[in-house]
Structure 1
Amino acid sequence: MLRRGILPKGTLAVRYPNPAVESVVVLGAGSWGTALSLLIAKKGCKVFLRARSEEAAARLDAARENRDYLPGFHLPENVEPCYALPRAADLWLVAVPSDAVREVAPLLPDECRVLMTAKGLERSTGLTMTQVLLEERPSVHVAVMSGPNLGLEIVRGVPTATVVASEEERMAEYAAGALRCESLRVYTSADVMGVQMGGALKNVLAVGAGISDGLGFGDNTKASMLARGLHEMAVLGTALGGRVETFMGLSGVGDLFATAASPLSRNYRFGRLLGEGRTTEEALKAVGQVVEGVPTAEAAVGLAEKHGIEAPLLTVIHQIVQGRLAPREAVSLLMSRAPRSEGLCGESSR
């Protein structure tokens, strides 16, 4: 039994060394890529922050601030905005939108270490981000990062946790070590599929949470929707090879809770605008940044159909986004479905 204020022996002897990580390339200079660059730079690494054009890199370098996507945070000297890439680096982070992963994959050197931080599914294929990456660059060593990690809170140093998954244990530990610091606790996992499906599908469910709030419903409605959405996430994710316990962790329920409850979440803000009566085009324009839940909804519904899984929440959210179903009509359809046993993850979601 612990005495008050006393942690187990050894708990305070934590160190956060970089495991031979001296240089990092971050592909993607949006809010998320910039936040990760600032996080890693605090550990003394040289960070190359790759922008989409020479002009964008020059603006970042001149301002020493990402005024478009993460204003108010100074870029330290060891963060170098760039368009032309260095010949080599210890670790490469992919922090572009999901629909740009295939485009930037050829920029990665053969056999390099890559940490995938994009969350989504490729719209046309339903592939996860690491599957897309490995199709283009099969020789790389890849890990994936996911969890309740809102970029603005990361850069503010708010205590949080995340998970890094890889089929190569040493790669997972290497990438995790590059991220660990006083404000970010990093766990590791071998469940690459589960971690990615949680990170991708929560974006769709966060859109649904925003729709619920935009319609003026209460916490009962949103909690019910998210609980059943978590069930659909786990059923589809395990059908693809993920582990059910992963969806109960940081990249599943943890990320879902943060994304579906926070006004910092683009997916939540987008969904709320839909619930308030905006069209998809109007809501996307108002958010002003990529909303990953939009392409992922289409891919997720396609995967569910392919594997014979009924996913009513994912389906109606996709139909609302496509303009084929009004939000209140969607609620009526869901509430009037035939009653059945709640079931456990892995059982039929019908």
Structure 2
Amino acid sequence: MGKSKTTVLVAGSWGTALATVLASNNHEVVLWTRSGQQAEEINRTHRNSRFLKDTVLPDNITATTSIEEAVRDSRGVLVVSPSHGMREVVRQIRPWLRPDSLLIHATKGFEADSLKRMSTVISEELPEYDHDRIVVLSGPSHAEEVVQKSPTTVVVAAQCLETAYAAQDLLNNSYFRVYTNPDVSGVEIGGALKNIIALGAGMSDGLGFGDNAKAALMTRGLAEIARLGAAMGASPLTFAGLAGVGDLIVTCTSRHSRNWRAGHMLGQGAALEEVLETMGMVVEGVKTTKAAYALSGKYQVEMPITAALYEVLFNGKQAKDAVEDLMGRVPTHEMEEVAQSGHLRWN
């Protein structure tokens, strides 16, 4: 895809960071926001102070509150809406989206009521659009580091390999390396579920349990992600890659992770309402915990960490009690699925 107009919706931290990547690739980037004040600040001062403090944005990023102005004649459209707003945003872009435009989403979550993945939501809202042109972007990537051009590696997945290559070409540069993957569901599931484990990692740190506990939680959390992902039709190999273990590591260990910070506050005794009010930004792991808990029942998949976090978030259980319950579970083989299938043998 040649250098041309590209669009990013919405102007949160991650959307703005992706806009800077596109701008570094010499695209004319239009960043959509509902806030006239935010649009005015970006256009006048080249800053998005609410989300990225004093970061100076490139001159070839402009902001608008008009969906039509943002999307009309755009050859690449990136949707970075919170999961609960995805359907509404896509519905709004439908009249202006070019049939040959590349549509990429970088949202990590499920639709709360339907439990649908974001690409499914997008497909439903764009019935006339070629669904082979829908791409998901995921991987270990904090906005705060991307805008500083710190080396970052992500993955894009699409049903059509040519579409994935087009997204790779649009975004790839010297500091933002893009891999391709055909497993759309796996990339979406891994990106969503790691936020649950990051909540748990933050909670463990907030309780002062140390690195041993966090390492165990991350490892067993990855097993939960892979179990549910496989039940939902994803490739287990995807969870060993950037959208799985890669994203899990960065989200569970970084000071930039809002899910870790939220979990840390919960571990220190804060109530969920207080945490969300203090954060001032969407914490996808909270909604995803509720969705994953429902999905584990739907697919009959055991997810003890998710279940424990669900009890803390929504049923008032104390974080310390939830961890003690997890440690008190009946011991089993590390490779449960292999053992149960009869492929594990002891000498």
The aligned amino acid for 1:45 is H
Residue 240 of structure 1: aligned partner: 232
Q: Which residue of 1 aligns with 2:32?
A: 50
Which of 42, 61, 76 is residue 43 of structure 2 equivalent to? 61
- For the 8 Å contact 1:280–1:323, the answer to whether it is kept is no
1:148 paired residue among 118, 140, 147: 140
Secondary structure of the residue aligned to 2:135 is strand
- Residue 7 (structure 2) aligns with: 25
1:193 CA displacement? 0.4
Q: Is the 8 A contact 2:333 2:339 kept in 1?
A: no
Counting only pairs closer than 5 Å after superposition, residues 169-318 of structure 1 correspond to structure 2 as 169-318=161-310
Distance 1:133 1:345, change over 3 A: farther
Deviations 1:64-106 (A, max 9, x none): 2001111212222211101113322110000111111001002
| 1:348, distance to aligned residue in structure 2 (A) | 6.8
- Change in 2 beyond 3 A, CA 1:110/1:24: closer
CA distance in 2, matches of 1:160, 1:29: 20
SS of the residue corresponding to residue 155 of structure 2 reads strand
Equivalent-residue separation in structure 2 for 1:348 and 1:72 (angstroms): 54
1:199 Cα deviation from its structure 2 partner:
0.3
SS of the aligned residue for 1:264 comes to coil
Instruction: For 1:71 and 1:147, locate their aligned partners in 2 and report how far apart those are by CA, in whole Å.
Output: 23
- Displacement of 1:62: 2.3
Q: Given that residues 78 and 103 in structure 2 are in contact (C-alpha distance below 8 angstroms), is that contact kept between their aligned partners in structure 1?
A: yes
Question: What's the % identity of the aligned pairs?
Answer: 40
Paired amino acid for 2:292: A
- Indicate the RMSD between aligned Cα atoms, in angstroms: 1.6
Deviation at 1:345, TM superposition (A): 6.1
What is the correspondence of 1:332-343 to structure 2 with a 5 Å cutoff? 332-343=324-335
What secondary structure does 2:147 align onto?
Answer: helix
Normalized per residue, which structure has more helix? Answer: 2
1 CA distance for matches of 2:28 and 2:337?
44
Q: SS state of the match for residue 127, structure 1? A: coil
Question: Is 1:134 aligned to 2:123, yes or no?
Answer: yes
Is there any run of 5+ residues in structure 2 with no aligned partner, and where? 342-347
Letter in 1 for 2:103: V
Q: Structure 1 length normalisation: TM-score?
A: 0.91
User: How far has the Cα of 1:127 moved from its partner?
Assistant: 0.8
Give how far 1:324 is off: 2.7
Q: Which residue of 1 aligns with 2:56?
A: 74
Q: Distance in 2 between matches of 1:120 and 1:74?
A: 29
SS in 2 for 1:319: helix
**4+ residue runs of structure 1 moved beyond 2 angstroms?**
53-56, 344-349
Distance 1:76 1:225 in 2: 40
Number of equivalences? 331
C-alpha change, 1:301 and 1:347, in structure 2 (3 Å) is farther
Gap change, CA 1:344 and 1:145, over 3 Å in 2: farther
Q: Please, which moves more after superposition, 54-63 or 217-226?
A: 54-63
**Aligned match of 1:13:** none
2:113 to 124, 131, 147: 124
SS in 1 for 2:54: strand
Equivalent position SS for 2:50: coil
Residue matched to 2:344: none
Equivalent residue, structure 2, for 1:91: 76
Q: What TM-score results when the alignment is normalised by the length of structure 2?
A: 0.92
Question: What is the CA deviation profile of residues 181-236 of structure 1, one whole-angstrom value per residue up to 9, with x for unaligned ones?
Answer: 11011100100000010000001110000000000001110000110000000000
* Structure 1 stretches lacking a partner, 5+ long: 1-18
Kept in 2, the 8 Å contact 1:146–1:163? The answer is yes
Distance (whole Å) between structure 2 residues aligned to residue 348 and residue 320 of structure 1: 30
The corresponding residue for 1:9 is none
Deviation at 1:55, TM superposition (A): 3.7
Give 3-state SS (helix, strand or coil) of 1:73's partner.
Answer: coil
CA contact (8 A) 2:3 2:26 kept: no
